[in-house]
């Protein structure tokens, strides 16, 4: 009898323990043209799924606001009115463009959302069969200049000063969406932690089911099944820009989808850039900026900014890291 009683209490207490154990749920889906994975760690499955769905709804909302492919988006309205008139937009989009201009300034124009005049010329979806002509490139390049994106804070308007100008958020939109999904998910009932992976741009926070927290591998660009090392993320984002997903090849030369606004041609010299900092949007934008700036100037910029670390793989497979990066090798 005593033994039975003992066993029952043991069972009950282990049940209580189980109840306190966290559950982790994930959903993988296509959003913003990329593979997203939204993960929530919660006290129970219902709460986890509520948070995941709220995160996905937020990403979908942002996509509709910033997409330059969707003709109904405010971004498309801005582009249509280039050189014609200022367009009134939501404060959210206004602020996003404001921050984009700041990174334009910080990177000396290496990062520039008005690179998008080039979207008409360089296509990385397989539809481009020959190098664009020098004249076409020069003409499109002449439209790139973040300083010609005019913001009027009082009217809350955006005006692209010249006809033919265009903006696009390919280099920061996924990071912004990841930040926002995290922010919404964090406010939901019972959520203890989570991870939003926006096509390789990811942000992790709070508790994870893994004992050590969120451990993120950095793939080796030489062999994507291998890893260069891993990072323990604690309330941080890591974003990687690489040349191995979107690129075209002409006469043996590989052209990646990041355009150098100074030349109008895709960048060369770097295979991948990973940026680690608490903010996914900043990581995303800086990864692209460093790609364009090149390893020397890029690393100098990363080392200058507090709380930002980075890792660069050059086209000769050399790995360069910022001064305080804590990469684990085993
Ligand atoms: P990924 O989309 O692979 O994560 P990035 O974050 O580096 O890579 O974004 C690359 C995208 O950013 C390009 O596909 C293009 O839409 C846009 N882009 C290209 N060059 C620039 C640039 N110099 N500044 C800002 N955006 C750029
Ligand atoms: Mg980017």
- Rounded average pLDDT over 92-114: 98
Which atom number of ligand 1 is nearest to the Cα of residue 261?
A: 23
- Rounded average pLDDT over 71-86: 97
Domain, as residue range, for 80 = 69-160
Q: How many domains does the chain have?
A: 2
pLDDT at 130: 83
Is the separation of the CB atoms in 201 and 237 below 8 Å? yes
Mutate to test the pocket of ligand 1, among 170, 176, 263 (most ligand atoms within 8 A of CB): 170
241 shares its domain with 313: yes
129 shares its domain with 236: no
Which atom number of ligand 1 is nearest to the Cα of residue 168?
A: 16
Cα(278) to centroid of ligand 1, in Å? 20
- Rounded average pLDDT over 114-132: 87
Cα(34) to centroid of ligand 2, in Å? 13
Which tens digits make up the pLDDT trace of 135-171?
Answer: 999 999 999 999 999 999 999 999 999 999 999 999 9
Last residue of a domain, one of 160, 189, 222: 160
pLDDT at 19: 45
293 shares its domain with 185: yes
The candidate with the shortest Cα–Cα distance to 178, out of 107, 92, 239, 97, is 239
Helices (H), 157-229: 173-186
Is the separation of the CB atoms in 53 and 184 below 8 Å? no
* pLDDT higher than 50, residue 243: yes
pLDDT at 253: 78
Measured by CA distance, the residue closest to atom 26 of ligand 1 is: 171
Which atom number of ligand 1 is nearest to the Cα of residue 34?
A: 2
pLDDT at 20: 62
237 shares its domain with 291: yes
Q: What is the CATH number of the domain that holds 177?
A: 3.10.520.10
pLDDT at 156: 98
Q: Which residue has the higher pLDDT, 261 or 251?
A: 261
């Amino acid at each position: 009898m005593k033994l039975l009683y003992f066993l029952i209490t043991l069972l009950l207490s282990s049940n209580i323990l189980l109840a306190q154990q966290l559950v982790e749920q994930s959903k993988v889906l296509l959003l913003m043209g990329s593979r997203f994975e939204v993960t929530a760690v919660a006290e129970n499955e219902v709460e986890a799924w509520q948070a995941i769905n709220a995160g996905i709804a937020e990403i979908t909302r942002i996509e509709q606001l910033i997409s330059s492919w969707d003709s109904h988006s405010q971004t498309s309205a801005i582009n249509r009115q280039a050189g014609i008139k200022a367009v009134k937009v939501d404060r959210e989009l206004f602020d996003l463009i404001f921050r984009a201009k700041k990174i334009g300034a910080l990177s000396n124009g290496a990062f520039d959302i008005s690179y998008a005049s080039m979207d008409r010329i360089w296509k990385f979806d397989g539809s481009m069969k020959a190098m664009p002509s020098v004249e076409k490139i020069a003409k499109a390049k002449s439209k790139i200049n973040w300083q010609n994106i005019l913001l009027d804070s009082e009217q809350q308007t955006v005006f692209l000063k010249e006809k033919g100008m265009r903006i696009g958020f390919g280099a920061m939109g996924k990071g912004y969406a990841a930040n926002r999904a995290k922010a919404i998910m964090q406010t939901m009932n019972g959520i203890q932690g989570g991870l939003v992976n926006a096509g390789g741009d990811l942000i992790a926070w709070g508790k994870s089911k893994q004992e050590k927290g969120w451990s993120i591998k950095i793939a080796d660009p030489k062999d994507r099944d291998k890893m260069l090392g891993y990072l323990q993320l604690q309330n941080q984002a890591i974003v990687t820009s690489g040349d191995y997903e979107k690129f075209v090849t002409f006469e043996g030369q590989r052209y990646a989808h990041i355009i150098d606004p100074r030349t109008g041609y895709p960048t060369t010299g770097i295979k991948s850039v990973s940026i680690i900092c608490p903010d996914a949007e900043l990581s995303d934008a800086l990864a692209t900026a460093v790609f364009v700036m090149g390893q020397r100037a890029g690393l100098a910029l990363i080392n200058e900014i507090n709380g930002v670390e980075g890792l660069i793989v050059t086209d000769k497979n050399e790995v360069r890291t910022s001064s305080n990066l804590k990469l684990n090798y085993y």
